[in-house]
Amino acid sequence: MNFTQFHNGNNMPSVGLGVFRVENNDTAKDAVKHAIQSGYRSIDAAFIYGNETKVGEGIAEGIKAENISRDDLFITSKLWLDDYGKNNVKEAYEKSLNLLGLDYLDLYLMHWPGTDADLMLNTWEGLEALYNQQLVKNIGVSNFNIDHLDILLNKATVKPVLNQVEFHPYLTQTELRNYLNKHEIKMESWSPLMNAEILQDEVVNNIATEINKSPAQVIIRWNIDHDVITIPKSVTPSRIEENYDVFNFSLNEAQMQQLDALNQNKRIGPNPAEFNG
């Protein structure tokens, strides 16, 4: 297992399981449990996904099945826009903890910047309070552009450890990645496989054939080799295993360049500059 170190000295696994668009039923529970049994130690949840109850059950069953402790896992959740505002943060955090059946989170993120800069800053103060009270191990943001980060870093007393954004070979976010590197903030990619769209790409498939790996493994390794944490989603046991079997090879410079050259600045998700829930 690979780890990435944050600027505060804490570590996070470089590959985790995403659970976006997974129903709040045994499918979610079983996927999370199977991921933990397959070696995953990072699970990425969010209140708005509506499945934290079953994700929590999967965490509990995975811990029991693997005979590990809660501290061996890295669990993320996210604060939704409806709960923004400094005075709402702690209650929303506790709501996710209760649903997940946990005592703490390893990482809590603002899910989107929103379109109100003052509200964004006020909300971040609430996350800082959680962190300063040692109720959460790390705090970060999601879907923040450079403009949002400039505003935040100008006022923040605790710097986010991470920015979770859309990132794949069709959206390489070079300027944002360079900015985050400069500020020692890690990048994490959601939906790295573009809901399987990128897996049809000819270049991706040619590289997969060259190195005898699957297209999904190529993309996940491309993330790792760019020092980007990633959370591919799957509920299929064999794919969950495949997506984690990426630590025994790397891509060479030519392959990385071929994948980087696929950039179209194409998003499958909303534009962070405009999205407000």
Residues with catalytic roles: 49
Residue 128 Cα distances to 14, 122, 215, angstroms: 24, 10, 39
171 pairs with which residues across the strands? Answer: 168
Q: Is 85 left (phi over 0), alpha (psi -120 to 50) or beta?
A: left
Cα–Cα distance, 236 to 234 (Å, whole number): 6
Q: Which residues of 31-52 are buried (b: 16+ CB within 10 A; e: fewer)?
A: bbbbbbebebbbbbbbbbbebb
Cα–Cα distance, 190 to 178 (Å, whole number): 18
